[in-house]
Amino acid sequence: TTPLVEVKNVKKYFPVKKGILGRKKTFVKAVDDVSFMINKGETLGLVGESGCGKSTTGRLLMSLLNVTEGQIYFEGNEITSLNDNQIRKARKDFQMIFQDPYASLNPRMMVKDIINEPLIVHGYNQKDRMNRVKELLEVVGLNAFHADRYPHQFSGGQRQRIGIARALAVNPKLIIADEPVSALDVSIQSQILNLLKDLQKKFDLTYLFIAHDLSVVEHISDRVGVMYLGKIVELADKKTLYKDPQHPYTKSLLSAVPVPDPKLKRDRIILKGDIPSPSNPPSGCTFHTRCPLATEFCKQEEPKLRQTSDGHYVSCHLV
């Protein structure tokens, strides 16, 4: 069967000016030759530190940005070649939930108007819209009384529920959730994750779930991809990735995830240095400046993402 989403060798380079008088033109390689697919009904977690290109990948999928190179397919149709008008129509099928429900909800709009916005864009009539707003508020665990209130009258968790209601309004097939719980208290995080899981079952949704650490995506993902400096360095189904991580970067991220059973505790792997600038990435394996296992060869030769076992992809010379 055709995957819902297919991303093929996608690159996104942002031009930046450098040097005296900004004459030298260079590029930030925000997304650098990324390929993956998402099957219908599944959740793909995409994890990495800030600046690794995970949000840019999400925005490329939403067609909020144009790709520099490569193709993105949605239900087998290439969306990277659509014109603005076609994209507007196609966008009904994919919606986004944002990290900061404070910033992403217009403070001057009542909740009903916030949820109404996508319904108006996609041509729902007024009576349908009113019913839909009520229905959606209930679906996300709020109720019809909340329709006439403003965002500031809600808690962070409730605001994220409003953001989710807005994303669901036009019955999308794919939801791109960009760190949807990162700004919330830990106790609220699991409520929102459970809500997203319930909604996925109820409405047959497919998720791309973006997060900066591996603990958040474990609960919700079927498969997980790990990004570093614009590239996917490891991709596997969830069980495999958490039990048998192969890439040194994945291992270090996992070593930071708290485990309830102390017997299963991993030794913490602390990486040296900071993430290099994506406008001037290291040669060879871009992780070599921080990798505890780096060799001379790693500095020269870039490893390719290779399949090491069924559905498990890793880019490291030592694997």
What is the rounded CA–CA span in Å between residue 283 and residue 298?
8
Residues in 291-310 at the binding interface with ligand SF4, rule: CB under 6 A:
291, 293-294, 298, 303
Contact partner at residue 285 from Mg ion, ligand SF4, none, CB < 5 to 8 Å by partner kind = ligand SF4
User: Applying CB under 6 A, does 317 fall inside the site for ligand SF4?
Assistant: yes
Q: In which residue are the tokens 């403070």 written?
A: 107
Task: Tell me: does residue 288 bind ligand SF4 (CB under 6 A).
Answer: yes
Interacting partner of 303 out of Mg ion, ligand SF4, none (Cβ under 5 to 8 A depending on kind): ligand SF4
Go through the chain and tell me how many residues it has: 319
Q: Does 157 help bind ligand SF4 (rule: CB under 6 A)?
A: no
Name which of 62 and 316 has its Cβ closer to ligand SF4: 316
Query: In this structure, are residues 195 and 161 in contact, taking their beta carbons and an 8 Å threshold?
Result: yes
Collect all residues with Cβ–Cβ distance below 8 Å to 289 and sequence separation of at least 6: 272, 273, 276, 282
What three-state secondary structure class fits 197?
helix
Q: What is the DSSP letter of 304?
A: P
Q: How far is the CB of 315 from ligand SF4 (least distance, A)?
A: 7
Among 248, 271, 278, 312, which residue interacts with ligand SF4 (rule: CB under 6 A)? 248
Least Å from the CB of residue 284 to ligand SF4: 7
Binding residues for ligand SF4, total number by CB under 6 A: 13
Using the minimum distance from each CB to ligand SF4, give the nearer residue, 180 or 248. Answer: 248
Q: Which helix (H) or strand (E) holds 224?
A: strand 223-228
Question: Residues near 177 by Cβ (< 8 Å), separated by ≥ 6?
Answer: 96, 97, 196, 207, 208, 209, 210
Interface positions with ligand SF4 (CB under 6 A) = 247-248, 285, 287-288, 291, 293-294, 298, 303, 316-318
